[in-house]
Structures are given as C-alpha cells and as structure tokens.
Amino acid sequence: MADGNAGEVGAEALKGPKAAELSVILPSFNEAANIPILIGLLDEALAGIAWEAIVVDDNSPDGTTEVAREIARTDARVRVIRRIGRRGLSGACIEGILASSAPFVAVMDADLQHDETMLPKMLAALKADETDLVVASRKVDGGTIGEGLSSFRAWGSNLANGLAQKLLNVTLKDPMSGFFMIRRDKAEALAPKLSPQGFKILLDLVSSAGGTLKIKELPFTFRERQHGESKLDTLVTLDYFGLLLAKYFGNIVSVRFLMFGLVGASGLFVHLAALRVFLLSDMEFNLAQTAASFVAMTSNFFLNNQLTYRDRRLNGMRALVGLLTFYAVCSVGVLANVGVANLIYADPSYWWFAGTAGAIMGAVWNYAASSALTWRKS
Ligand code: GDD
Ligand code: MN
C-alpha cells in the first residue's frame, strides 16, 4: 500500500498541526459575554486532549461572531461558523458537527450552563466501553436539575421526557438534554435523517437511530445562567411535541405541517368562541360567522408566525402584508375545502368522510400556499 504511485500521499506525509480528537460544537445566539469565559474553561478542562471548538453563531446581534473570531485569530483550536438568515439550535448543531472531522464530537451550550469538566469523562466513556453516545443527563442519580430551570420548565421537561419514552421507546432519562458526545461515524450516518428545525437534536438522533446506538448517561448539575438570557421560551415545548409526533408517525408528515395542523385545530376553538360572542351581541348569523372566520384566521396567522414559522418570522410591515396574504390564501382554502367536500357528499351517509376530506384538502392548500406566499424563503 505504502509504496504508492506518484501523486499519492500517505497520511504520515501530511504536514501541519495534529488534528483534533474531539470537536466541541458550541451553538450560540447572543452569547458574546459567555464565549471567552467558556473557551478559557475548555482550555483548562481539556488539558492533555487534542480538542477544537466550533462556535456556530446565527449572526447574533450582540456580536458573538466577532468575539469568537477575535479568539480564533490567536487560537487555532477555535473556529467560527456565522450563519446568516437562519435560526435554530438543532440546525446549528448539525452544521457544526458536519463541519468538523474529529472522531468524537460533543454538543454543548455556549452559555456556561453545561459543566465542561464532564467532557473528559464523556470522552473516556466513549473510548472505554464501545459506547456510541454519551449523554450528560440532568436526571440520573447524582445529577440534578439544579436551579437552572424554572419550575414550569422543569414540569414541561418531565412531561416531555415521559412522552418520548412512551411514544418513541426512547429510554433516555433526559432526552431533552442539549449536552452529549457521539462518535463521528454514527453522527454522519444519522445526519441525513435529522430535522434542522427546533432544538431537540438529541431526541432526534436517538429516535432516528432506532435502537442501534449504545448509549451511556452520566449525571451532571445544570448551572444557572450568569450572562444573557435563554432563547428557549415555553413555546418551543410545542415544537418538541411536533417532533415527537412527526417521529411517531415515521416522518411521513413534516414537523412544520404538524405544527400548522395543530394551530389550525386551535383556530377552530377560537372560531367557535368568537362566533358565540358575536351571536350573543345580536349579530346576524352570516355576518357573525364571517367575522369569526377573520378572528380565527388572525389568531392562526400570529400563532403560525410565532411557532410554525419562527425561523422566518415576519415583523412590522412585513407581518401586516403577511396577514393579508394569509387571509387571501385561507379564503381560497375554504373554496378548496367546500369543493372537495361537495364532490364526495354525493352520498349523504358519508357526510363525515366528505367533511374530513374537505378539511384536509383545505389544510394542505393553506399550508402549501402560505409557505410559498406568506412565509416564503427570502
Ligand atoms: N446557533 C444558534 N441558533 N444557537 C442557539 C439558538 C439558535 O437559534 N437558540 C439557542 N441557541 C444556543 C444558545 O446560545 C445556547 O448556547 C444554547 O443554544 C442553549 O440555548 P438556551 O437559550 O440557553 O437554552 P436553555 O438553557 O433555556 O435550555 C436548556 O435546556 C434545554 C432542555 O430543556 C439547554 O440545555 C438546551 O440545550 C436543552 O435542550
Ligand atoms: Mn441555557
């Protein structure tokens, strides 16, 4: 092998500094104050290990990218990916993982809430017993939820864990953890199956692997945030349930479509509530029904803008224009709905089938048209 042809270079002939054994992926959004501290802590914690850190920053307005680049200018172990026009924790992690080449990859929050002294233990566990994935868990004995999560978030987190276990057979004690280390070959193999939306990359990895990963969980204490604020509001929990459902249904439908459907279902309640109020105030039925439709469409628009399309969220004037196009899209959706339902309604004993088919047709239309018109990719 080694006495190769001209032009072929053996690995031993390669020059340059030794490549990293461990890549630490640091997704960041507005973490300018935390990055320099974190790199210092990594330097201490990972003494003796050939490591690199990749900051994946979504063009943070607080200048995180510049701060990280400043460090990278004097420390070759630090690299920066600046993503423009995109948001999302999972997507950032995937991109960071795929931009590195080390045989072991860790994903870790950039806000100092994750205990960096866990990293050497995680690496040792991966190397020692043929483990594929090590999760730093806030739940196993000795680990604690600490003061880092509000009680409401902690409750939501427990509920979400329970559901993940029931629906997906994911037996992790802390599937919501954002702190883990995985073998590169496993991560590369799973990458095409992962959803860049949302923030549940660990759950996504484990459920996509379908039981093929050898997993180990190590306890750690989730620290309280010192600088900056959490980007994961309570609403992202919905996003998580979207992922659970999408995985449960075997990825036939996209997370986004499921979210859109959930919002649409909430619109029905809004519609009925508004209709009731209008009727009580003596409005004539047709007018009340039309007005209630607008209330429901408006509510759907804002919920979709907050949740379903949080990565393409429209603000200010663009939100107003978006709302108007959404009205237009939904009006056509009603026609599609009624048209299909009518075609099928030929036999009245199947009224429920006609009604459901119409509603699905309307939802598919609304989804396709609004993602192309209202929330089109800029
Ligand atoms: N690039 C990028 N893009 N990074 C992001 C984004 C984004 O859209 N949103 C958040 N981040 C980064 C933050 O800067 C931080 O480094 C990390 O992702 C975690 O975000 P936080 O906003 O600090 O999340 P948290 O502390 O509230 O949530 C914690 O608990 C979750 C489970 O309940 C984290 O540990 C999560 O990783 C964990 O999934
Ligand atoms: Mn955090």
Cα–Cα dist 31/27, whole Å: 9
Is 204 a pocket residue for ligand 1 (Cβ < 6 Å)? Answer: no
> For residue 101, how far is its CA from the centre of ligand 2 (angstroms)?
26
Is 56 a pocket residue for ligand 1 (Cβ < 6 Å)? Answer: yes
What CATH number was assigned to the domain covering residues 10-248? 3.90.550.10
> For residue 204, how far is its CA from the centre of ligand 2 (angstroms)?
19
Q: How many CB atoms lie within 10 A of CB 354?
A: 18
Cα–Cα dist 72/59, whole Å: 16
Which amino acid, one-letter code, is at 44?
E
Q: How far is CA 220 from the centre of its chain?
A: 23
Cα–Cα dist 176/202, whole Å: 7
Is 231 a pocket residue for ligand 1 (Cβ < 6 Å)? Answer: yes
End-to-end CA distance of the chain: 51
Cα–Cα dist 68/36, whole Å: 7
Closest Cα to atom 6, ligand 1: which residue?
A: 89
> For residue 77, how far is its CA from the centre of ligand 1 (angstroms)?
23
DSSP 130-199: T-SEEEEESSSTT-B-TTSS-HHHHHHHHHHHHHHHHHH----S-TT---EEEEHHHHHHHGGG---SSS
Give pLDDT, residue 105.
Answer: 98
Give pLDDT, residue 75.
Answer: 96
Q: How many CB atoms lie within 10 A of CB 284?
A: 10
- Residue 29 sits at φ, ψ, to 5 deg, of -145, 115
Classify residue 12 as exposed, middle or buried by CB count within 10 Å of its CB (0-12, 13-18, 19+): exposed
Within 8 A by CB and 6+ apart from 365, the residues are: 329, 332, 333, 336, 337
Which amino acid, one-letter code, is at 271?
H
Give pLDDT, residue 57.
Answer: 98
Q: Are 137 and 219 in contact (CB under 8 A)?
A: yes
Cα–Cα dist 19/355, whole Å: 61
Which amino acid, one-letter code, is at 360?
I
Is 89 a pocket residue for ligand 1 (Cβ < 6 Å)? Answer: yes
> For residue 111, how far is its CA from the centre of ligand 2 (angstroms)?
6
Closest Cα to atom 36, ligand 1: which residue?
A: 178
Is 28 a pocket residue for ligand 1 (Cβ < 6 Å)? Answer: yes
Ligand 1 atom closest to the Cα of residue 58 is 1
Ligand 1 binding pocket mutation candidate from 25, 28, 238 (most atoms within 8 A of CB): 28
**Strand pairing report for 215-219 and 22-28:** unpaired
What does the block give as tokens for 257? 């479509």
- Residue 222 sits at φ, ψ, to 5 deg, of -75, 120
Cα–Cα dist 370/21, whole Å: 45
Ligand 1 binding pocket mutation candidate from 31, 93, 199 (most atoms within 8 A of CB): 199
> For residue 109, how far is its CA from the centre of ligand 1 (angstroms)?
6
Q: How far is CA 109 from the centre of its chain?
A: 14
Cα–Cα dist 337/374, whole Å: 20
Give pLDDT, residue 90.
Answer: 93
DSSP 296-308: HHHHHHHHIIIII
Q: Nearest bound ligand to CA 203?
A: 1
CA-based nearest residue to 55, from 64, 43, 42, 47: 64
C-alpha radius of gyration, the chain, whole number: 25
Q: Nearest bound ligand to CA 204?
A: 1
Give pLDDT, residue 47.
Answer: 96
> For residue 229, how far is its CA from the centre of ligand 2 (angstroms)?
7
Q: Are 135 and 202 in contact (CB under 8 A)?
A: yes
pTM: 0.70
Ligand 1 atom closest to the Cα of residue 199 is 39
In tens digits, the chain (378 residues) has pLDDT values of: 444 444 555 666 777 778 999 999 999 999 999 999 999 999 999 999 999 999 999 999 999 999 999 999 999 999 999 999 888 899 999 999 999 999 999 999 999 999 999 999 999 999 997 899 999 998 544 445 555 566 766 777 777 777 777 777 777 888 888 999 999 999 999 999 998 877 789 988 998 898 899 999 999 988 888 888 887 765 666 677 777 777 777 666 677 888 898 999 999 899 899 999 999 999 888 888 889 889 999 999 999 999 899 888 999 999 999 999 999 998 888 887 777 777 777 777 777 777 777 778 888 888 888 988 899 876
Domain residues of the chain, as ranges?
A: 10-248, 255-374
Give pLDDT, residue 245.
Answer: 75
